[in-house]
């Protein structure tokens, strides 16, 4: 058993680059903080180097060794984090046009970075695991790959994925529907391989595991919950597939994430890093991010105790105040955003973690599954209330019982404290307390609204769930610079493919756009208004 429990593969081998990867990833061999051929030859590093590389590039961060906060910024900070309603953009762009106003400027890196940093490491790790007859290592690698790459397809739609590294596909893109089917197959296999080890209390890759410190049980819990997340994601596109995959996770003997110490985050105890939002708020220009108007509306309207964990009070009046997305040039109002009138994020340079999945999300996923009539092992109300309670635990605040009992408070109207006059009426009348007599849609809004609050500041998930369900109801952008490609009321649905793909891989990306149009409800081409395969409610 000891030979199974802990693995270290000694020996140098060359990291192969994927022939199925696209041709435009210039930085594949340029990041000084990643494992490459010469490093492996010089240091005789184990497969653990690739395992660490995969984990460390799911969400980019500043580490003092080559990776910068600006990588995160252009990958998701100026897109997903804004469109999810979590963050208000307060940069001083001279033209007033930027991603927040739907003038698509920063949209390539969520595509190029995972393909250049995660996928080559996965390929090398799997090659070594197969050579050493270590299916458990491949299983762990596949779980991390799915976690990283579902963020990519959920951003763009079709991507090169299924035959990556086989040498048979070249640069072709797969439909999102097929990519999701592959995700489920990979997670199914990985969970089947790892479940016996998890039941035995095994440890894998402990020296290199920056998320679970080698706990196979926690990796299986995460994989089951990730499978549940993706099952819920496709509920409107393929209800049968969604129910089947969701119930697999619940029926697995190890189960899903249930406790705070089981949620997935990069461990500060093993990594020297800080959340990139710190730099974006404190050191980039005059401060490029603040509390959003949506968080202002919901958290103030609900008098939500989690405000103290998420944000800081504004110096002027001690309140919590946000800013609308799509505000144009605000350089003349920098002082308003510096903390006097608009709330900063409550973020600590050394302790705020990067979280892949909260424990609360696991409960809200089950709540929606139960609401849909799936076998989740309990009622929608039970899981909804448990999700709120554990979210309070994760935030380190009290008062969950009183909060859940409130059936009167609703999201507040937004008052623009900057003086720009971008006030807005309350976006929703949804209350907190569970109402068994309410219809499906009202209780779905209730679940997703609390799930959205609990997942803050995970922009990719928040934006995906908003697009999938229409909840929580978010304020539209103040200014729309998309030239009619994105509906102000429907809001942005995806990011365009990188321009570099059109330069170096034009045939494949043009074919991908045709596939995208075919899977979409509105098929308007490679722009921010085209819906993805699983996005069936918005049009």
Average pLDDT over residues 502-522: 95
Total Cβ atoms within 10 A of residue 27: 12
Whether residue 246 is contained in a domain is answered as yes
How many residues are given for the chain? 539
Per-residue pLDDT, averaged over 202-228, amounts to 97
Rounded CA-CA distance 397/32 in Å is 40
Asked whether 479 and 488 are in contact (CB, 8 A), the reply is no
Which residues lie across from 290 on neighbouring strands? 88
Q: Over range 50-68, report the average pLDDT.
A: 86
Q: What is the mean pLDDT of the chain?
A: 89
Q: Residue 418: what pLDDT?
A: 85
Which pLDDT value is given to residue 508? 93
What's the pLDDT tens digit per position in 120-159? 999 999 999 998 899 999 999 999 999 999 999 999 999 9
DSSP E strand stretches across 332-424: 355-357
If 0-12 CB within 10 Å is exposed, 13-18 middle and 19+ buried, where does residue 94 land? exposed
| Tens-digit pLDDT profile for residues 351-360 | 999 999 999 9
Q: What is the pLDDT of residue 92?
A: 65
Whether 324 and 293 have beta carbons less than 8 Å apart is answered as yes
* pLDDT at res. 401: 98
Query: What pLDDT score does 94 carry?
Result: 56
pLDDT recorded at residue 420? 83
Answer for the pair 137, 129: CB distance below 8 angstroms, yes or no: yes
Residue 398 domain-assigned (yes or no): no
Q: Is residue 237 part of a domain?
A: yes
**What is residue 7's predicted lDDT score, i.e. its pLDDT?**
34
Query: Which pLDDT belongs to residue 285?
Result: 76
pLDDT for residue 91: 74
User: Environment class of residue 265 by beta-carbon count within 10 Å: exposed (0-12), middle (13-18) or buried (19+)?
Assistant: middle
Q: What are phi and psi of 242, to 5 degrees?
A: -60, -50
Better-predicted residue by pLDDT, 193 or 334:
193
Give the structural domain span for 201.
Answer: 2-24+38-61+76-89+108-265
Contact call for residues 497 and 509 (beta carbons, < 8 A) = yes
Q: Do residues 519 and 513 lie in contact, with contact meaning Cβ atoms separated by under 8 Å?
A: no
DSSP of 167-189: SSSTTPPBPHHHHHHHHHHHHHH
14-30: pLDDT as tens digits = 333 333 344 443 343 34
Give the side-chain half-sphere CA count within 13 A for 262: 23
Mean pLDDT over residues 375-387, rounded? Answer: 98
Helix (H, G, I), strand (E, B) or coil at 345: strand
Tell me what percent of the residues of the chain surpass a pLDDT of 90: 76
Sign, Cα dihedral of 31, 34, 40, 44: positive
Instruction: Read off the pLDDT of each residue in 453-463 and give the average, rounded to a whole number.
Output: 98
Residue 169 binned pLDDT confidence (cut-offs 50, 70, 90): very low
pLDDT tens digit sequence for 239-283 = 999 999 999 999 999 999 999 999 999 999 999 898 999 999 988
Q: Is residue 533 part of a domain?
A: no
- The CA distance from 332 to 242, in Å, is 49
Output the pLDDT for position 284. Answer: 85
- Please state the rounded mean pLDDT for residues 357-380: 98
Residue 499 lies in a domain: no
Asked whether residue 42 carries a pLDDT value surpassing 50, the answer given is no
Read off the pLDDT band of 46 (50, 70, 90): low
Please state the rounded mean pLDDT for residues 185-206: 97
Residues sharing a CB contact under 8 Å with residue 239, sequence separation 6 or more, in sequence order: none
Report whether pLDDT(514) > 80: yes
Band of the pLDDT at 332, cuts 50, 70, 90? low
Average pLDDT over residues 495-505: 93
Instruction: State the pLDDT at residue 33.
Output: 45
Q: Give domain status of residue 386, yes or no.
A: no
pLDDT at res. 330: 60
In tens, the pLDDT along 72-118 reads 999 999 999 999 999 998 876 656 778 899 998 889 999 999 999 99
Q: Tokens 């762009």, residue?
A: 93
CATH number at residue 245: 1.25.40.390
Name residue, tokens 């196979």: 216
120: CB partners within 8 A, 6+ apart = 15, 16, 17, 18, 21, 28
Expressed in angstroms, the distance from the first to the final Cα of the chain is: 54
What's the pLDDT band for 336 if we cut at 50, 70, 90? low
Q: Give the span between the Cα atoms of 34 and 54, in whole angstroms.
A: 9
Q: Classify residue 98: in a domain, yes or no.
A: no
Alpha helices in 396-522 (DSSP H): 400-405, 440-455, 459-469, 499-504, 506-519
* pLDDT value at 9 more than 50: no
The model's confidence at residue 62, banded by pLDDT at 50, 70 and 90, is confident
Structural domain count of the chain:
1
- How much is the pTM? 0.91
Positive or negative torsion for Cα 245, 209, 127, 157: positive
Residue 262, helix vs strand vs coil: helix
131 assigned to some structural domain: yes
pLDDT at 170: 53
Left, alpha or beta for 399 (phi > 0: left; psi -120 to 50: alpha)? left
Round the CA-based radius of gyration of the chain to a whole number and report it.
Answer: 22
Q: Rounded to 5 degrees, what are φ and ψ at 264?
A: -100, 120
Rounded-to-integer distance, Cα 54 and Cα 40, Å: 16
């Amino acid at each position: 058993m000891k030979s199974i429990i802990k693995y270290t593969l000694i020996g140098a081998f060359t990291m192969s680059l994927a022939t199925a990867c696209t041709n435009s990833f210039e930085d594949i061999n340029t990041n000084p903080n990643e494992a490459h051929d010469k490093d492996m030859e010089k240091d005789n590093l184990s497969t653990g180097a690739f395992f660490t590389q995969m984990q460390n590039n799911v969400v980019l961060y500043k580490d003092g060794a080559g990776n910068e906060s600006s990588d995160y910024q252009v990958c998701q900070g100026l897109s997903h984090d804004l469109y999810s309603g979590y963050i208000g953009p307060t940069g001083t762009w001279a033209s007033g046009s930027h991603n927040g106003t739907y003038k698509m400027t920063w949209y390539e890196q969520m595509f190029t970075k995972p393909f250049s940093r995660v996928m080559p490491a996965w390929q090398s790790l799997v090659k070594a695991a197969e050579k050493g007859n270590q299916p458990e290592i491949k299983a762990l690698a596949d779980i991390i790959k799915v976690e990283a790459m579902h963020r990519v397809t959920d951003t763009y739609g079709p991507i090169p994925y299924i035959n990556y590294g086989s040498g048979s596909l070249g640069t072709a893109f797969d439909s999102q529907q097929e990519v999701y089917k592959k995700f489920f197959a990979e997670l199914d296999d990985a969970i089947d391989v790892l479940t016996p080890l998890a039941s035995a209390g095994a440890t894998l890759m402990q020296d290199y595991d920056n998320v679970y410190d080698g706990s196979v049980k926690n990796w299986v819990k995460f994989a089951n919950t990730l499978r549940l997340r993706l099952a819920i994601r496709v509920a409107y596109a393929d209800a049968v597939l969604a129910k089947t995959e969701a119930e697999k996770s619940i029926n697995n003997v190890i189960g899903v994430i249930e406790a705070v110490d089981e949620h997935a985050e990069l461990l500060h105890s093993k990594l020297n890093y800080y959340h990139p939002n710190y730099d974006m708020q404190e050191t980039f220009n005059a401060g490029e991010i603040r509390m959003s108007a949506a968080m202002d509306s919901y958290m103030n309207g609900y008098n939500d105790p989690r405000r103290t964990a998420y944000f800081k009070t504004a110096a002027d009046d001690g309140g919590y105040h946000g800013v609308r997305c799509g505000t144009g040039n605000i350089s003349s109002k920098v002082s308003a955003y510096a903390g006097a009138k608009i709330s900063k994020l409550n973020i600590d340079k050394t302790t705020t973690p990067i979280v892949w999945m909260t424990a609360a999300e696991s409960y809200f996923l089950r709540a929606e599954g139960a609401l849909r009539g799936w076998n989740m092992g309990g009622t929608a109300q039970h899981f909804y209330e448990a999700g709120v309670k554990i979210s309070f635990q994760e935030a380190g605040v009290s008062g969950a019982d009183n909060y859940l009992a409130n059936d009167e408070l609703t999201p507040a109207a937004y008052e623009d404290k900057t003086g720009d006059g971008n006030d807005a009426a309350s976006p929703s009348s949804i209350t907190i307390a569970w109402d068994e007599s309410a219809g499906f849609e009202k209780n779905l809004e209730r679940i997703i609204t609390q799930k959205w609050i609990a997942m803050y500041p995970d922009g990719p998930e928040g934006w995906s769930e908003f697009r999938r369900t229409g909840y929580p109801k978010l304020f539209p952008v103040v200014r729309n610079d998309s030239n009619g490609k994105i509906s102000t009321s429907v809001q942005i649905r995806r990011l365009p493919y990188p321009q570099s793909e059109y330069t170096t891989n034009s045939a494949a990306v043009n074919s991908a756009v045709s596939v995208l149009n075919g899977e979409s409800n509105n098929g308007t081409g490679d722009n921010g208004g085209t819906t993805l395969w699983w996005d069936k409610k918005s049009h």
